Amino acid sequence: MATLLITHDSGLLHATPEGHPERVMRLQAIHGALRAPEFDGLLRKSASLAPEAEVLRVHSAGHLERIRTSAMRPGYVPLDADTWMSEGSFAAAMRAIGGANDAVDAVLAGAARNAFVAMRPPGHHALRETAMGFCLFSTVAIAAKRALDDLDLSRVAVLDFDVHHGNGTQEALWDEARATFVSSQQVPLWPGSGLAAERGGHGQILNLPLPPGSDGQVMRREWELALEQVAKARPELVLVSAGFDAHRDDPLANLNWTEADFAWLTHAICDLADDCCGGRVVSVLEGGYDLDALGRSVAAHVRVLMERGA
């Protein structure tokens, strides 16, 4: 088997205003990094366009309609002070959902051992009724719900290492006993959630607050213990919200991770998946806003996926 890379050019058509950190160049930086010869062995696939019913696994019909109609307005459309849309945004978000679902299907079918979905906009801040934090739809939570409800899985794990708390994913999975959700994040930091006391309706949520200025050694200690807890739930699929904004060069936060830390955490996640579910990992891009650091960190992440998927 091998590692599957899923992307689509629609991700380049989700335009944001000049100076916005969640910009087209993020995806261009990732594409550039993954064009290096060492990544020639990736299986590459274009993301499918998800049917709109997929959104309703997590979001209301009203939210879906607001996002769809906002994309029909010309120019840049603000949804809040941070979250913007353009005419290409709705299609890009639906391709992001479709790509995550494609990756789940391929990994569960044995067509790939693991997968990375390089799409934007990101998703893990989107709430049931509200787009926020650059996110329109909760992509990874939708993929988790689909795996549980339609693909005969009994247990999944969703692991989020973005520097900002995955509040949208947490909301979507708060009462979902079949999904273990672990999220590490800088605290304090926007959106203000992600405290250890936030445990979910069945105690299946584990938040790992990390202090500003802390480095990869602090992260490694926290995640090592967390993954031991996840292993006890015996997930049949591991989904990852892969944000790379904990990097020391990222302008939106104050953690001090390096590419080596992302590689270590990817290995640790793959160890969990090897133990529980035949190595089945689906990783989906979230944040990361320094272009050089983003390209290098994604390369480190995908390099490990390829090594473990061989």
Residue 199 corresponds to which amino acid? R
CA–CA–CA angle 180, 204, 309 (5° rounding)? 15
Helix (H/G/I), strand (E/B), else coil: 110: coil
Which residue from 158, 157, 152, 202 is spatially nearest to 176, judged by alpha carbons? 202
Which residue from 306, 253, 255, 261 is spatially nearest to 283, judged by alpha carbons? 306
Residue 123 to residues 90, 103, 166, 187, Cα–Cα distance (Å) = 13, 16, 9, 20
Phi then psi dihedrals of residue 247, to 5 deg: -65, 145
Q: Return the C-alpha torsion angle 144, 148, 153, 157, nearest 10.
A: 30
Bridge partners of 256? Answer: 215
Residue 137 corresponds to which amino acid? F
Cβ distance 95 to 50 under 8 Å?
A: yes
Q: Assess whether 125 carries a catalytic annotation.
A: yes
* 141: its two tokens: 């939570």
- Which residue matches tokens 């019913």? 53
Name the catalytic one among 59, 63, 124, 125. Answer: 125
The catalytic site residues sit at 125
